[in-house]
Amino acid sequence: MRINLLISILIVQIFFPLSKALAHFGLADGEDVGHGIFWAYGIIFITLIGFIFYRRFDRRRATPEQQSLRLQLKELNVALNNCFKQIQNADEYPNECGLSIEQRQKNLDATKLIQDQIDHTKEMLSAT
């Protein structure tokens, strides 16, 4: 609730400024240098708020099937990254994180399987 109040106050302040915004505490010999900076920050702030609303709208617009596929895709990407990290750590630190030949082959097979599942999930997501 507090964040909504803060955002509302900032939006009102952006659109209805009560005084001129001066950069560097008004040390610019009477020129209003902060005016451009004020509008630049305002545009950036409004763009950020618009992006947040767009993401919320896009998430609501998606069907439950698309949402579950996106979640599955995220989980598969995490699993793929974990397999890659295990293999990379075993290569870089063979004494501390070394993998046996069977474990390494198991990780490589799991990586290929997960990559195939990711490709299949992306195909299903693009078809919906």
What is the tens place of the pLDDT at every residue in 38-96?
Answer: 888 889 999 999 999 988 887 777 788 888 999 999 999 999 999 989 888 888 887 77
Q: What does the pLDDT read at residue 119?
A: 94
Q: Say yes or no: 36 and 72 in one domain.
A: no
Q: Has residue 22 got a pLDDT over 90?
A: no
Q: Which of 61, 79, 106 delimits the end of a domain?
A: 61
Name the region of 25 (left: φ>0; alpha: ψ -120 to 50; beta: rest).
Answer: left
Say what the pLDDT of residue 19 is.
60
Compute the average pLDDT of residues 95-123.
Answer: 88
Chosen domain end from 14, 34, 61: 61
Do 8 and 34 belong to one domain?
yes
Residue 100 vs residues 1, 83, 90, 103: alpha-carbon distances, Å: 54, 15, 9, 5
